[in-house]
């Protein structure tokens, strides 16, 4: 490689490097790592430029290739901060900067591990250049598998798969879920990296175009692979009419809970208005009404007034209402975040009750509270710890069997899958975005789109403030609502009963890919040892 004068800007040829065994110059690698994070950020909603996800993967791979592990980790961390700090900005809207900063840095730490691993496997990529794209895909799946589970159950926000809600790669979710989509995105990034890293050298100059053409063909093949995967409802075929009630809140922010009676009234009144439209023949009568998470933060099982208001709405509309309720107990100082079916005429159906299985640490419960309080007094805003449920959210309403998940649970593969294997015909995500913003809500809706395709189920997201909407089994959205508005949307949804390959194989694609990741890391260790 040509020696670079420290005062001279790197040329394009220097940025792509060559086969000399040297990494990119650090002054090129640092801005490239930052650009990688920003490119991946732009792939996610609300921007939605999904082709930039593999571009960002390629940039980070180029920055970390052939570096020492410490340098690779540093470059991965820079990319992680550029990705997660702006992506998770909605976490500081009402809680201050410290929780946002700590969460962003924690998530960036996983990309630091990815950068170190990328540097570690460089000898494998250099020795078997055709394996470089696969290595890239494996490392990304391995990183996400770890980040999705640690610490305190993990935080899967920002997975590459969730950036592809408008991409031709989305149908791959029906074969192997989010891990396979992530692998495909990162594989594309690895192909781009392989193509751009250095000029290809064939055995004769006349053949130098062959590996380039083969790589371009592989890029196009991976990008188009999803178009060959069938999506849609598996089995079933019956239709139900569902109404989403987005009642809105008096004001956004953490103190929305102080207005809990007003929030409940908003949802009751909107349902009564819908009932009037049905009676006048202006609207189809729904078979089911879905209210969002926190639509009744007054426990309707213990507060007669709250229960009476919900019964008024259910009786007027003549259909069961899935209520997002905060229920007291089972112990003193404990509460539950629940989806509770409320039937017309009879009231709450306690046999059709789902309690959120994955409460959010430091938001719905505080692990290590004494230690956490030393970091931020904001933890004491969580006065009562939410108790996790133990069973999947499979609710039998009569017209349909619902697969209910609450808020961030939609990001966790197993929690959604358990409802489908338990018999769910329709996926329902109850959420409350009153403490966040429209960007967070749209990122969540992108996850709902992936889940619909993954399991071949129609799905919906019902939010207190937006964004709410319906999703077809092939990932198309209809009836999308605005943010911080009161709206009611009614749609017919087709039920599904079969299973996609992704539902059938479950976690095993991720297990297999993660095992291959470990094998690649061990293989790089062996190659380094022989070289050393």
Comparing CA positions, the residue from 338, 319, 301, 326 lying closest to residue 430 is 338
Mind giving me the DSSP string for 302-322? T-HHHHHHHHHHHHHHTS-EE
Comparing CA positions, the residue from 485, 479, 448 lying closest to residue 241 is 479
% of the chain at pLDDT higher than 70? 88
- Does residue 198 or residue 271 have the better pLDDT? 271
Q: For residue range 431-488, what is the model confidence (pLDDT) as tens digits? A: 998 888 899 999 999 999 999 999 999 999 999 998 999 999 999 999 999 999 999 9
Computed on alpha carbons and rounded to an integer, the radius of gyration of the chain in Å comes to 25
Task: Return all residues near 25 (Cβ < 8 A) that are at least 6 apart.
Answer: 4, 10, 14
Check residue 400 and give left, alpha or beta (phi > 0: left; psi -120 to 50: alpha): beta
CA dihedral 14, 16, 22, 25 (to 10 degrees): 50
Task: Return all residues near 84 (Cβ < 8 A) that are at least 6 apart.
Answer: 37, 103, 104, 107, 108, 158
pLDDT at 260: 86
Q: Sign of the CA dihedral 234, 235, 238, 243?
A: negative
Task: Return all residues near 211 (Cβ < 8 A) that are at least 6 apart.
Answer: 200, 202
Cβ–Cβ under 8 Å, residues 430 and 326? no
Beta bridge partners of 239: 494
| Active-site hit among 407, 409, 454, 510 | 407
pLDDT at 99: 79
Per DSSP bridges, beta strands 426-431 and 459-463 are parallel
Asked if residue 515 has pLDDT above 70, the reply is yes
**Secondary structure E strands in 359-453:** 385-386, 394-396, 401-406, 426-431
Element housing 492 (H / E): strand 487-494
Q: What would the mean pLDDT of 37-49 be, rounded to a whole number?
A: 97
Is 293 labeled as catalytic in the residue annotation? yes
Locus of tokens 């053409």: 213
8, with CB counted inside 10 A (0-12, 13-18, 19+), is exposed
Both structure tokens of 180: 């396979």
| Active-site hit among 144, 293, 364, 440 | 293
pLDDT at 79: 98
Distance (Å, whole) CA 49 – CA 47: 6
Summary mean pLDDT of the chain: 89
Q: What would the mean pLDDT of 376-385 be, rounded to a whole number?
A: 68
Provide the 8-state DSSP code for 332. Answer: T
Q: Sign of the CA dihedral 166, 172, 176, 181?
A: negative
pLDDT at 449: 98
- CATH class of the region 239-499: alpha beta
106, with CB counted inside 10 A (0-12, 13-18, 19+), is middle
Distance (Å, whole) CA 237 – CA 288: 17
Most confident range (mean pLDDT) of 64-78, 194-208, 252-266, 376-390 is 64-78
Asked if residue 266 has pLDDT above 70, the reply is yes
Locus of tokens 């990001």: 411
Is omega for the bond preceding 467 within 30 degrees of 0, making it cis?
yes
pLDDT at 532: 66
Asked if residue 210 has pLDDT above 60, the reply is yes
| Active-site hit among 356, 409, 454, 510 | 356
% of the chain at pLDDT higher than 90? 74
Distance (Å, whole) CA 323 – CA 464: 11
Is 364 labeled as catalytic in the residue annotation? no
Cβ–Cβ under 8 Å, residues 136 and 190? yes
Is omega for the bond preceding 46 within 30 degrees of 0, making it cis?
yes
Count of beta carbons in the 10 Å neighbourhood of residue 93: 15
Q: For residue range 322-376, what is the model confidence (pLDDT) as tens digits? A: 999 999 988 888 899 999 999 999 999 999 999 999 998 877 777 766 666 666 6
Check residue 281 and give left, alpha or beta (phi > 0: left; psi -120 to 50: alpha): left
Q: What would the mean pLDDT of 123-146 be, rounded to a whole number?
A: 96
Q: For residue range 274-296, what is the model confidence (pLDDT) as tens digits? A: 999 999 999 999 999 999 999 99
């Amino acid at each position: 490689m040509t020696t670079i004068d420290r005062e001279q800007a790197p040329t394009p040829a220097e940025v792509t490097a060559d086969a000399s065994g040297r990494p990119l110059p650090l002054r090129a690698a640092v801005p490239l790592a930052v650009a990688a994070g920003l490119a991946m950020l732009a792939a996610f909603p609300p921007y939605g430029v999904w082709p930039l996800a593999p571009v960002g993967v390629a940039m980070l791979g180029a920055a970390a290739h052939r570096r020492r592990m410490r340098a690779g980790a540093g470059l991965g961390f820079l990319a992680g901060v550029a990705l997660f700090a702006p992506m998770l900005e909605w976490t500081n809207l009402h809680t201050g900067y410290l929780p946002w900063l700590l969460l962003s840095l924690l998530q960036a730490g996983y990309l630091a591990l990815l950068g170190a691993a990328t540097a570690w496997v460089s000898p494998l990529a250099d020795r078997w250049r055709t394996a470089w794209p696969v290595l890239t895909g494996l490392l990304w799946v391995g990183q996400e598998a770890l980040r999705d589970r640690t610490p305190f159950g993990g935080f899967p926000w920002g997975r590459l798969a969730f950036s592809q809600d408008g991409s031709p790669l989305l149908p791959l979710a029906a074969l192997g879920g989010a891990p396979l989509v992530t692998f495909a995105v990162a594989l594309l990034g690895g192909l781009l990296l392989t193509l751009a890293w250095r000029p290809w050298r064939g055995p004769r100059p006349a053949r130098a175009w062959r590996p380039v053409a083969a790589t371009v063909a592989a890029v196009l093949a991976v990008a188009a692979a999803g178009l060959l995967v069938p999506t849609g409802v598996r089995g079933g075929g019956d239709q139900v009419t569902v109404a989403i009630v987005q009642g809105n809140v008096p004001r956004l922010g953490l103190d929305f809970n102080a207005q809990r009676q007003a929030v409940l009234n908003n949802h009751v009144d909107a349902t009564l208005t819908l009932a009037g439209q049905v009676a006048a023949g202006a609207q189809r009568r729904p078979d089911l009404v879905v209210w969002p998470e926190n639509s009744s933060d007054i426990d309707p099982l213990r507060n007669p007034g709250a229960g009476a208001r919900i019964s008024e709405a259910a009786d007027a509309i003549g259909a069961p209402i899935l209520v997002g309720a905060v229920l007291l107990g089972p112990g003193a100082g404990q509460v539950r975040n629940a989806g509770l079916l409320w039937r017309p005429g009879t009231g709450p159906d306690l046999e059709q009750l789902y309690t959120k299985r994955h409460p959010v640490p430091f938001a719905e419960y505080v692990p290590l509270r004494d230690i956490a309080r030393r970091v931020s007094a904001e933890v004491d805003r969580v006065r009562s710890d939410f108790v996790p449920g133990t069973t999947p959210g499979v609710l039998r309403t009569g017209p349909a069997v619902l697969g209910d998940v609450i808020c961030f649970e939609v990001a966790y593969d197993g929690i959604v899958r358990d409802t489908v294997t338990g018999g769910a015909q329709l996926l329902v995500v109850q959420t409350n975005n009153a403490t966040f913003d429209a960007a967070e809500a749209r990122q969540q809706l992108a996850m709902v789109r992936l889940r619909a395709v993954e399991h071949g189920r129609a799905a919906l997201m019902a939010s207190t403030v937006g964004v709410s909407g319906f999703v077809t089994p092939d990932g198309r959205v209809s009836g999308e609502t605005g943010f911080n508005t009161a709206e009611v949307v009614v749609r017919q949804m087709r039920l599904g009963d079969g299973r996609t390959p992704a539902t059938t194989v479950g976690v095993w694609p991720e297990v297999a890919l993660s095992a291959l990741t470990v094998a690649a890391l061990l293989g790089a260790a062996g190659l380094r040892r022989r070289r050393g």
